[in-house]
Amino acid sequence: MNFTAGLLAANQGGFTLTYIWDQATIEAKVIIIILLIFSIFAWSVMASKAVQMRRARRLNHYFESEFRQQKSVLSIYDRRLQVQGCPLFSVYLDGCTDLEGHLRGPDETRRQFASIKGIEHVKRALEGSVARESLRLESGLVLLAVAVSGAPFLGLLGTVWGVMDAFGGVAIAAQSGARADLAVMAPGVSAALITTVAGLLVAIPSMFGYNWLVHTLRVHTVELDNFAQSLASRIETEFLKDE
């Protein structure tokens, strides 16, 4: 195929899509517009969550490396640092804040050791912090789940509706004595099928993005759990007095 023939085929393809859109019913056009909105939201969620999780992974790596170099659990906490967007730091800050409360005496001086009950309370605070950070990372994924599960059904609804209208139009034309053959029915059927194509174009990228984000979220959750257990162990070793 030479350049002229290729250009003609491309123009014909564009004309075909325009023709099919013109032949689509108002219901099909509404469904396609809804699917377009779904697609915009899905791509926005995928992009924003990918940036958020990539940034969280990078900050987690830096913070964990810094934390392992500290001799005391509260060394970073005492420096009053703020690291926005770092899940590990948020868990660390919540745990140290709770630990600080149990170490402070009536005279507001920091005691060297905490009670067993206080350490257990810190462990529960760490568990709650891990859950909150996991939910924060998970926020927004429900939109992708809706796009994955709902878009094909919306497309199918538009297709069934369009085919129903096409066959109804052919039946009415046949009753009135007009010609009713494949050439008459084809535009309506092709216009009906475009909604299924639109639904799949929304659902397929959303499915891949959702699966990747869910896998990344699981990795982050495991890292948070491991860090919380490691932090609790260090707190218990450093601040729980041997009996």
What is the token pair recorded at 80?
Answer: 């009053």
Q: What is the CA radius of gyration of the chain?
A: 30
Q: Which residue has the tokens 């709650």?
A: 128
CB 217 within 8 A of CB 134: yes
Give the pLDDT score at 107: 62
Question: What is the DSSP-derived secondary structure letter of residue 108?
Answer: S
Mean pLDDT, residues 75-98: 88
Q: What is the pLDDT of residue 160?
A: 84
Alpha carbons 166 and 181: distance in angstroms, whole number: 12
- Single pTM value for the model: 0.77
What is the percentage of the chain residues whose pLDDT exceeds 90? 38
What's the pLDDT score for residue 185?
65
Q: How far apart are CA 148 and CA 202, in angstroms?
A: 7
Given a contact cutoff of 8 angstroms between Cβ atoms, the answer to whether 196 and 159 are in contact is: yes
Which of the residue ranges 73-82, 130-139, 159-168, 172-181 would you say has the lowest mean pLDDT?
172-181
Angle at the Cα of 31 from the Cα atoms of 30 and 32, rounded to 5 degrees: 90
For residue 50, what are its two tokens? 């990918």
* 95-117: average pLDDT: 79
How many Å apart are CA 102 and CA 82, to the nearest integer? 22
Do you know the residue count of the chain? Answer: 243
Tens digit of each residue's pLDDT (9 = 90 or more) over 134-158:
999 998 898 899 899 999 999 888 8
Looking at residue 83, its pLDDT comes to 82
* CA-based nearest residue to 99, from 69, 75, 131: 75
- Alpha-carbon span 133 to 144, nearest angstrom: 19
Q: Residue 229 carries which DSSP code?
A: H
Q: Which residues contact 162 (CB under 8 A, 6 or more apart)?
A: 24, 25, 27, 28, 188, 189, 191, 192, 193, 195
What's the pLDDT band for 212 if we cut at 50, 70, 90? very high
